[in-house]
Structure 1
């Protein structure tokens, strides 16, 4: 069953965050992940206004999503991102 990593991000250092953005695609691809949403315009349809950057990745299954997060490549990407953004990241199984 596919799994999705959903991330809400408040970028605090755009230049440093750009360096992180260069590293994360390779880490995701190494575990079968692909970006479905990577920023872009969003509109809040209900509830409190969401003004954070939204990113959604699709993985073959939840184990692949977890392997991505714990992988050496993504640990390196997270180190580059440290101090550049406030992150909330969840993995959820999909249909």
Structure 2
């Protein structure tokens, strides 16, 4: 079942953010990830949103997300972004196939 990485992002250092992206994006792709959303938050309709950008990445499975996140490639990207980008990052299981009951 597909799984997702959802990230709220605030860039504090634009130059470091570009360096991070140059390492992070290839790592995502090499683990089977694909970007579904990557950009400024358009318009919060209910509640608030504390981040300038939203990123949603789909992976084939939750196990694949964990492999990517713990990989040497992405560890390097995390080091680059340490003081340059504020993130809130979470992993989510995808919904079951249509017509299947949702888990409780």
Provide TM-score, normalisation by structure 2: 0.84
Q: Give the superposition deviation at 1:3.
A: 0.3
Between Structure 1 and Structure 2, how many residues are aligned? Answer: 95
Matches of 1:2 and 1:83, distance apart in 2: 31
Gaps of 5+ in 2: 96-104
Task: Tell me the residue number matched to 1:22.
Answer: 22
Matches of 1:38 and 1:22, distance apart in 2: 14
1:31 and 1:55, CA in 2 relative to 1: closer, same or farther beyond 3 A? same
- Structure 1 runs of 4+ off > 4 angstroms? none
Task: Tell me the residue number matched to 1:66.
Answer: 66
CA RMSD of aligned residues (A): 1.3
Provide TM-score, normalisation by structure 1: 0.92
Gaps of 5+ in 1: none
Matches of 1:19 and 1:63, distance apart in 2: 27
Which of structures 1 and 2 has the bigger CA Rg?
A: 2
1:94 and 1:70, CA in 2 relative to 1: closer, same or farther beyond 3 A? same
- Deviates further, 2-11 or 36-45: 36-45
Matched position secondary structure for 1:39: strand
